[in-house]
């Protein structure tokens, strides 16, 4: 099929919607997280059971992307297409499938786990009463078959592009995006409309629209979920962007470690070309636009736009000083717009519904929604898309269901290795770009790693700095050498060799690196160190003044002792790998500290909690 005009697109969408469908739709989560949890086996069982019972006319089985409920994978959703009633099942096994199909849509199947919180998976692109989430970026992710362009078109897919090509000039598109207040969702929050305007104002000629899909923050998986669950949304947005700035070529820069996202992108591009919504003379408008995929090798620094551009060109992925900015001189020295996946995923919805609709969500300075990847010690790991301005407490406790195993919340790291640790005193802080910056953190791409009482904040700072150190391109001295020295200082502290002077040197070197590093990676590398020093200086002092790790996680500062609770069962003695425990049966045992390698086997083995970590 080839769609020759916007009118034909509208007619095609209506024809798709009028097709007879079974009364019940059964959605099976087939994103990377679901597949890793065993959803493929569940899908196989579902298809076999539907065939066995001859239910093809009653149940439509649809493979979808991540539903956001990563903590409950494998997940299934049953939807009554007449009433809209839904049942969401979590932790599904192949053995439960017959019972689920037998129960139908009215009541949950016995012996299964259902997800009752409808606001976790809202129905509309707005936050209604009682709903904490609003889906704009994830509007189709987990709902539509990502490998079917028909389903995308049936659900208003490419309608925004048709509107742009028939009723809007290039400047009109930029004006709408500018009026919406959409800010880049990949880092610093630069206004998207302004970036597009800069590129559009450059002399006519070759220009590029680039999608940064090089998602590298630890704990972040938002972009991957969008590409796996709704690839056409990104293609449509890039095409709209191309029309707006006068570009005919788009490039998606994606890390090769995302094979499922790549597969679905390649499939979507082939379908879009076949249907005529990508390529020559799109929908008879005379506008040409094509998209190609370029693979990255997993270098975190290539998330920085100038390093990304160099990588596409086949050069070393190293950043350069700006200006000139890519919107003026980018790929092959031509004007180029670089936005990330989540930013593009907002574009079509804004064009269809208008700037005011988008501004009705979020805050004045940070309109719209933000997708967060909840990870770490939170009870319910997954994706949450919330209006800007929601508090950390709501995200972590109302959506994420608090901290695992009833532990105490300690901190949350936003912005990945470039961000900072936020403490309990800021749990009620509204999350937007300015608020996070004011407390020494940043929005970043949206990773949110939650930590509890068992996490050592000095160790956390060392973990993030080690990541940045490994990912540094090495071009500038402050990042290459300065971060290495900072890491060595943190290592001294966690090993019990640090001093008060070490802490002062850390502060001085952090400030120097922030002021002198070449790109954002180096300039923000000290953030985890500075934020933990600011909020948890007492932990640093305990390490250097008392040779003690308050969280009990720094191995070289831990000492295991056996208390009076010991009943002399001998279990720890027999399990110890270095035979450092001695004692008679039914008598209190002893640990030889000189021989102990601090592996923690005795601590984990003792059933009487007699082994203490001090």
Q: For residue range 4-43, what is the model confidence (pLDDT) as tens digits?
A: 999 999 999 999 999 999 999 999 999 999 999 999 999 9
Whether 44 shows a pLDDT value over 60: the answer reads yes
Which of the residue ranges 120-124, 302-306, 431-435, 595-599 would you say has the lowest mean pLDDT? Answer: 120-124
DSSP 325: P
Q: Evaluate if residue 522 carries a pLDDT over 90.
A: no
pLDDT of residue 578: 95
- DSSP class of 105: T
Q: Which of 423, 397, 395, 392 is nearest to 410 (CA)?
A: 423
Query: CB within 8 A of 16, min separation 6: which ones?
Result: 150, 151, 153, 154
Look at strands 560-562 and 611-613 and give their pairing: antiparallel
What pLDDT is attached to residue 120? 44
CA–CA dist 401, 404 (Å, integer): 8
pLDDT digits (tens, 9 = 90+) for 273-297: 999 999 999 999 999 999 999 999 8
Long-range Cβ pairs for the range 94-103 (8 Å, 24+): 94/41, 94/42, 94/44, 94/45, 97/42, 97/45, 97/46, 97/49, 98/49, 100/76, 101/46, 101/49, 101/50, 101/53, 101/55, 101/59
Whether 343 has a pLDDT exceeding 50, the answer reads yes
Report the alpha-carbon distance of residue 531 to residue 539 in Å, rounded: 13
> CA–CA distance from 544 to each of 187, 533, 614 (Å)?
35, 13, 16
Per-residue pLDDT, 117: 54
The pLDDT of residue 184 is 93
The side-by-side arrangement of strands in the sheet containing 86-90 is 59-64, 24-29, 76-80, 86-90, 113-114
- CB 280, CB 238: distance < 8 Å: no
| Coil vs helix vs strand at 86 | strand
Mean pLDDT across 445-451: 89
pLDDT for the residue numbered 119: 40
Taking the whole predicted model, whether its pTM rises above 0.75 is answered as yes
Q: How far apart are CA 271 and CA 157, in angstroms?
A: 13
Q: What is the pLDDT of residues 204-259, one digit of tens each?
A: 999 999 999 998 888 889 999 999 999 999 999 999 999 999 999 999 999 999 99
Question: Is the pLDDT assigned to residue 147 strictly greater than 90?
Answer: yes
Compute the distance between CA of residue 460 and CA of residue 614 in angstroms, rounded to an integer: 20
- pLDDT confidence of residue 505: 95
Tens digit of each residue's pLDDT (9 = 90 or more) over 176-191 = 999 999 999 987 789 9
pLDDT at 126: 52
pLDDT value, residue 518: 86
* Phi-psi group of 108: left, alpha or beta (phi > 0 → left; psi -120 to 50 → alpha; rest → beta): beta
Q: What is the pLDDT of residues 67-117, one digit of tens each?
A: 999 999 999 999 998 888 889 999 999 999 999 999 989 899 999 999 865
Q: Are 465 and 490 in contact (CB under 8 A)?
A: yes
For residue 582, give the nearest of 565, 599, 602, 598 by alpha carbon. 602
Q: Is the pLDDT of residue 124 over 50?
A: no
Report the chain's mean pLDDT, rounded to a whole number.
Answer: 92
- What H or E segment, with its residue span, contains residue 581? strand 581-582
For range 368-375, the mean pLDDT: 94
């Amino acid at each position: 099929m080839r769609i020759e005009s916007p009118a034909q697109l509208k007619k095609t969408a209506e024809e798709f919607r009028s097709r007879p469908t079974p009364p019940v739709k059964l959605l099976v989560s087939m994103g990377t997280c679901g597949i890793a949890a065993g959803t493929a086996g569940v899908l196989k069982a579902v298809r076999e059971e539907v065939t066995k019972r001859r239910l093809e006319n009653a149940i439509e089985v649809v493979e979808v992307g991540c539903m956001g409920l990563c903590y409950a994978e494998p997940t299934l959703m049953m939807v009554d297409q007449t009433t809209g009633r839904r049942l969401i099942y979590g932790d599904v096994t192949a053995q439960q499938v017959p019972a689920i199909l037998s129960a139908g849509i009215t009541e949950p199947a016995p012996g299964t786990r259902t997800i009752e919180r409808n606001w976790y998976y809202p129905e509309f692109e707005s936050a209604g009463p009682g709903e904490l989430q609003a889906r704009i970026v994830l509007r189709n992710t987990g709902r539509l078959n990502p490998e079917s362009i028909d389903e995308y078109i049936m659900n208003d897919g490419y309608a925004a592009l048709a509107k742009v090509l028939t009723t809007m000039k290039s400047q009109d598109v930029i004006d709408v995006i500018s009026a919406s207040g959409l800010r880049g969702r990949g880092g610093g929050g630069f206004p998207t409309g302004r970036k597009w305007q800069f590129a559009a104002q450059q002399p006519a000629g070759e220009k590029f629209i680039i999608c940064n899909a090089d998602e590298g923050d630890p704990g972040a998986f938002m972009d991957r979920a969008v590409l796996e669950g709704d690839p056409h949304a990104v293609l449509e947005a890039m095409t709209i962007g191309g029309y707006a700035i006068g570009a005919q070529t788009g490039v998606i820069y994606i890390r090769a470690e995302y094979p499922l996202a790549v597969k679905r992108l390649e499939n979507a591009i082939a379908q879009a070309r076949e249907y005529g919504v990508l390529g020559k003379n799109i929908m008879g408008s005379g506008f040409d636009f094509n998209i190609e995929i370029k693979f990255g090798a997993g270098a975190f620094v290539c998330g920085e736009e100038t390093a990304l551009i160099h990588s596409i060109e086949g050069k070393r992925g190293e950043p350069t000083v700006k200006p000139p900015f890519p919107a003026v001189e980018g790929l092959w020295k031509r004007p180029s717009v670089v936005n990330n996946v989540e930013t593009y995923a907002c574009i079509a919805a804004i064009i269809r519904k208008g700037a005011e609709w988008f501004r009705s969500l979020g805050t004045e300075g940070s309109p719209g929604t933000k997708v967060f990847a909840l990870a770490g010690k939170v009870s319910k790991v997954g994706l949450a898309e919330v209006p800007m301005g929601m508090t950390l407490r709501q995200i972590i406790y109302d959506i994420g269901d608090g901290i695992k195993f009833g532990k105490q919340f300690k901190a949350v790291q936003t912005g990945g290795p470039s961000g900072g640790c936020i403490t309990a005193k800021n749990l009620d802080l509204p999350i937007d770009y300015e608020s996070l910056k004011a407390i020494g953190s940043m929005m970043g791409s949206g990773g949110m790693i939650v930590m509890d009482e068992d996490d050592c904040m000095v160790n956390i700072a060392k973990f993030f700095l080690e990541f940045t150190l490994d990912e540094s391109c090495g071009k500038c001295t402050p990042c290459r050498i300065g971060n290495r020295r900072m890491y060595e200082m943190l290592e001294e502290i966690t090993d019990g060799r640090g001093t008060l002077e070490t802490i002062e040197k850390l502060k001085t070197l952090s400030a120097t690196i922030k002021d002198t590093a070449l790109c954002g990676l180096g300039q923000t590398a000290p953030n985890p160190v500075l934020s933990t020093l600011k909020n948890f200086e007492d932990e640093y002092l305990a390490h250097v003044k008392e040779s003690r790790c308050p969280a009990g996680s720094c191995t070289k500062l831990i000492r295991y002792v056996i208390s009076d609770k010991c009943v002399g069962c001998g279990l720890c003695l027999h399990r110890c790998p270095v035979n450092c425990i001695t004692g008679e049966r039914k008598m209190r045992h002893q640990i030889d500290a000189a021989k102990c390698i601090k592996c923690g086997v005795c601590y984990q083995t003792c059933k009487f909690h007699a082994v203490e970590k001090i």
